[in-house]
Homo-oligomer: A and B are copies of this chain.
Amino acid sequence: MTKGRLEAFSDGVIAIIITIMVLEMKVPHGSTFADLKPLLWVFLSYVLSFVNVGIYWNNHHHMLHAAKHVNGPVLWANLHLLFWLSLMPFATGWMGENHFTPVPTALYGLVLLMSAVAYTILMYALIRLEGRDSLLAKAVGADRKGMVSLLVYLIAVPCAFFMPWLAGALYVVVALVWLVPDRRVERVMPKH
Contacts and interface: CB of A to CB of B under 8 A. Distances in A.
Nearest to A15: B12
A76 B22 CA distance: 19
A134 interface: no
A22 B61 contact: no
Nearest to A75: B58
Tell me the number of copies of this protein: 4
A72 B189 CA distance: 13
A35 B95 CA distance: 13
B97 A2 contact: no
Interface in A101-117: 101-104, 107
A1 interface: yes
Nearest to A191: B69
Nearest to A100: B31
Given A27-B97, A103-B31, A19 B16 contact: yes
A130 interface: no
Contacts of A104: 31
Nearest to A80: B54
Residue among A13, A23, A27, A30 with the highest chain B CB neighbour number at 10 A: A27
A63 to B, nearest CB: 12
29 contacts: A2-B65, A3-B192, A5-B61, A7-B8, A9-B11, A9-B61, A11-B12, A12-B12, A12-B15, A13-B18, A15-B15, A16-B16, A19-B20, A20-B20, A22-B87, A22-B89, A22-B90, A23-B23, A31-B94, A31-B102, A32-B103, A36-B103, A47-B83, A57-B79, A58-B76, A58-B79, A70-B192, A72-B181, A75-B181
Interface of A: 1-3, 5-9, 11-20, 22-25, 27-33, 36, 47, 50, 54, 57-58, 61, 65, 69-72, 75-76, 79, 82-83, 86-87, 89-90, 93-94, 97-98, 101-104, 107, 179, 181, 186, 191-192
